[in-house]
Structure 1
Amino acid sequence: KCLPVVPQDKLVQKVTSRESRGYGMQILTTDCHKLLGNIKAKHSEAFVIMGFTLFDLYPRDEWNFVFGQANRATGVGIFSFARYQCAPPNFLRRCMAVLCHEIGHLFCISHCIWWECIMNGSNHDEESDARPMHLCPMDLGKLVEAFGGKIDIVAREQALAEFFTAHGFAAIAEW
């Protein structure tokens, strides 16, 4: 379900911001989490809430940026389109990867250090692009567990393959 857009002028009044080198205004992810948490409180049926923004993001003063960040405790996350200056197929793939990665965190899946997995961490475009669009077997098991074992893995993989094929990502669908 898509919720109404928070207008840019209202957003910047509610979050801490700073200027970013080359990307304009950056907004503090933890402030975004608070704002999204307030929105989530009004939607009791929501398990998670993900926010999208064109502003660049940073999680604390010492950090340069993050592509996205999730808060497991509150069930909210945010990701930014700001650093994606690429052609449409790559743009869509990068957005899907960050969105799925952050939602994975909301289902209590940490960064994967064992296999190539969508839950691998990334600090720049090359790492993000090298990350596959699928969960490794270990993290897929964690997702199934998060849903109380009520995920039909075969049906899930077939639905993902159909989605990727329909949206021009045949190579990902073949996996």
Structure 2
Amino acid sequence: AITMADIYVDEVEDWVYGQARRLDGFCVYSFARLDPLYSASPQTLFSSPLTDEHRVIMIRRCVKILLHELSHLFGLKHCIYYTCLMNGANNETEMDR
């Protein structure tokens, strides 16, 4: 499933980019925070045109999240040793590695 809303695993944890449940056979991911202007003010959002650079960043981030969550469905776990698709990401800097 794909959404433009933030995803929360539970009331205690912070938001996540995506969530996969291998045993249930589904994953969900959110585009909400993948926009480079996500944290910008409403005035900035409405006055800033979507540039080609923004489109490239958004598409790259969306593909990474999609492939990461689908990989969880196939049984892959997070990688902590290398910079790879299965690294977890907690912010834009980690997402763009």
2:29 corresponds to: 79
Aligned length: 80
Deviations 1:135-162 (A, max 9, x none): xxxxxxxxxxxxxxxxxxxxxxxxxxxx
2:7 corresponds to: 57
1:155 corresponds to: none
1:112 corresponds to: 79
AA matched with 1:75:
G
Percent pairwise identity: 40
Structure 2 counterpart of 1:93, from 40, 60, 65? 60
TM-superposed deviation, 1:75: 1.1
Provide the rounded CA distance (Å) in 2 between the counterparts of 1:85 and 1:101: 18
1:102 corresponds to: 69
Q: Deviation above 4 Å: which 4+ runs of structure 1?
A: none
TM-superposed deviation, 1:66: 0.2
TM-score of the aligned structures, taking structure 1 as reference length: 0.45
Say which structure, 1 or 2, has more relative contact order (CA 8 Å, 6+ apart).
Answer: 2
Provide the rounded CA distance (Å) in 1 between the counterparts of 2:86 and 2:16: 15
**Structure 2: gaps (5+ residues):** 37-53
Structure ranking higher in helix proportion: 1
Q: What are the equivalent positions in structure 2 for 1:1-175 lying under 5 Å apart?
A: 51-86=1-36, 87-130=54-97
TM-superposed deviation, 1:113: 1.5
2:39 corresponds to: none
Structure with larger Rg? 1
TM-score of the aligned structures, taking structure 2 as reference length: 0.79
Provide the rounded CA distance (Å) in 2 between the counterparts of 1:103 and 1:63: 22
**Structure 1: gaps (5+ residues):** 1-50, 131-175
